[in-house]
C-alpha cells in the first residue's frame, strides 16, 4: 500500500512529475533562420513548399514562460534564436530573475556589436555555437554560415568571460580536423563539444564520415 503524506507527493514523484519551477524548457523563440542545414526540419518544410510555422515570440509571452521554469534553452527545432528581436531583453530578464539560460546558435548574420550586447546582457548564459569543422569549412554543412565571423564571435564571448562551447558535428569533410579544432578551442578558452550525428537520410549521405567511430546508427556500440 502507498501512503501519501501530502499532495506534493501525490502529484509529484510517484507520477514521475516535478514542479515546473524545477524543470527546464527548450523553446523556439522565432521561426527564422538564414542557414539551410540539409538535415534541419526547415529543409523538409522547404521541400514541401510549406511556410515555416510560428512567429517571433513577444517579450511579454516569454516572461510568462520563463517565470515557470528553472532554466530556458533557446534552441528549438526550426529556428535560430539570434533572430528573435527581443533575445537580448530575454537574456537580461533571465539574469534578473535567476533563470538559467542556454543559447544554441549556428547562424552568423549578426554584427559584432549585437553579439557584444548579447554576451553582456547575461554573463551566466551558456552559449553553444554550431561550427562543424574548421571555421573556413563549416559552411559545407551549415549552408550560408560565415564560419570565420562566427568563430571571431565565439572568441569575443570567451574573452568577455561568457561560457562558450563549440559544438562540432562530425562529417566527412571535417573528420580529419578534429584535433586541430580541439587545440584551437583550448587556445581561446572555448569548451570543445565533439558531437556525432545519427541523421543519415538520403540527402545527408554525402556528408557521412568514413570512420564508423565518427557517426551514430552504425554497428558501433555507444
Ligand X SMILES: C[S@@+](CC[C@H](N)C(=O)[O-])C[C@H]1O[C@@H](n2cnc3c(N)ncnc32)[C@H](O)[C@@H]1O
What secondary structure letter does DSSP report for 50? P
With CB under 6 A as the contact rule, the residue among 33, 99, 164, 169 that binds ligand SF4 is 33
In this structure, are residues 91 and 130 in contact, taking their beta carbons and an 8 Å threshold?
no
Q: How far is the CB of 221 from ligand SF4 (least distance, A)?
A: 27
75 binds ligand X (CB under 6 A): yes
Q: Is 2 exposed, middle or buried (0-12, 13-18, 19+ CB in 10 A)?
A: exposed
**Count of helix runs (H) and strand runs (E) in the chain:** 7, 6
Residue number with CB closer to ligand SF4 (36 or 124): 36
Q: How far is the CB of 175 from ligand X (least distance, A)?
A: 14
Using the contact rule CB under 6 A, the part of the chain among 9-17, 36-44, 54-62, 150-158 near ligand X is 36-44
Q: How far is the CB of 33 from ligand SF4 (least distance, A)?
A: 3
Q: How far is the CB of 210 from ligand X (least distance, A)?
A: 17
Residue number with CB closer to ligand SF4 (107 or 118): 107
Q: Is 88 exposed, middle or buried (0-12, 13-18, 19+ CB in 10 A)?
A: middle
- Contact partner, 169, from ligand SF4, ligand X, none, Cβ < 5-8 Å per class: ligand X
Gyration radius of the chain's alpha carbons: 19
Binding pattern for the stretch 43-62 against ligand SF4, x by CB under 6 A and - elsewhere:
--------------------
Residue number with CB closer to ligand X (22 or 217): 217
**Of 78, 81, 82, nearest to 43 (Cα)?**
78
34 binds ligand X (CB under 6 A): no
Residues 65-104 touching ligand SF4, rule: CB under 6 A, are: 78-80
Cα atoms in the Cβ-side hemisphere of radius 13 Å centred on 88: 11
Strand, coil or helix: what is 39?
A: coil
> How far, in Å, CA of 137 to CA of 135, rounded?
6
Helices (H), 59-146: 59-66, 87-96, 112-121
With CB under 6 A as the contact rule, the residue among 26, 34, 39, 71 that binds ligand X is 39
With CB under 6 A as the contact rule, the residue among 27, 37, 154, 165 that binds ligand SF4 is 37
37 binds ligand X (CB under 6 A): yes
For the CA atoms of 19, 25, 29, 34, the dihedral, rounded to the nearest 10 degrees, stands at 180
Residue number with CB closer to ligand SF4 (63 or 144): 144
Q: How far is the CB of 45 from ligand X (least distance, A)?
A: 12
Amino acid at each position: 500500500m502507498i501512503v501519501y503524506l501530502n499532495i506534493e507527493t501525490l502529484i509529484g514523484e510517484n507520477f514521475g512529475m516535478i514542479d515546473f519551477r524545477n524543470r527546464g524548457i527548450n523553446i523556439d523563440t522565432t521561426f527564422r533562420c538564414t542557414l539551410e542545414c540539409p538535415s534541419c526540419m526547415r529543409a523538409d518544410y522547404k521541400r514541401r513548399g510549406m511556410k515555416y510555422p510560428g512567429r517571433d515570440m513577444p517579450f511579454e509571452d516569454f516572461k510568462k514562460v520563463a517565470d515557470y521554469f528553472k532554466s530556458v534553452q533557446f534552441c528549438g527545432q526550426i529556428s535560430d534564436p539570434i533572430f528573435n528581436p527581443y533575445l537580448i531583453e530575454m537574456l537580461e530578464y533571465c539574469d534578473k530573475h535567476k533563470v538559467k539560460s542556454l543559447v544554441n546558435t549556428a547562424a552568423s548574420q549578426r554584427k559584432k556589436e549585437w553579439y557584444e550586447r548579447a554576451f553582456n546582457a547575461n554573463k551566466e548564459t551558456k552559449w553553444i555555437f554550431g561550427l562543424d569543422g574548421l571555421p573556413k569549412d563549416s559552411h559545407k554543412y551549415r549552408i550560408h554560415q560565415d564560419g570565420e565571423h562566427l568563430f571571431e564571435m565565439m572568441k569575443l564571448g570567451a574573452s568577455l568571460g561568457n561560457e562558450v562551447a563549440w559544438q562540432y558535428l562530425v562529417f566527412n569533410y571535417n573528420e580529419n580536423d578534429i584535433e586541430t579544432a580541439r587545440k584551437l578551442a583550448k587556445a581561446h578558452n572555448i569548451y570543445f563539444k565533439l558531437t556525432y550525428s545519427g541523421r543519415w537520410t538520403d540527402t545527408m549521405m554525402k556528408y557521412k564520415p568514413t570512420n564508423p567511430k565518427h557517426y551514430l546508427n552504425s554497428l558501433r556500440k555507444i
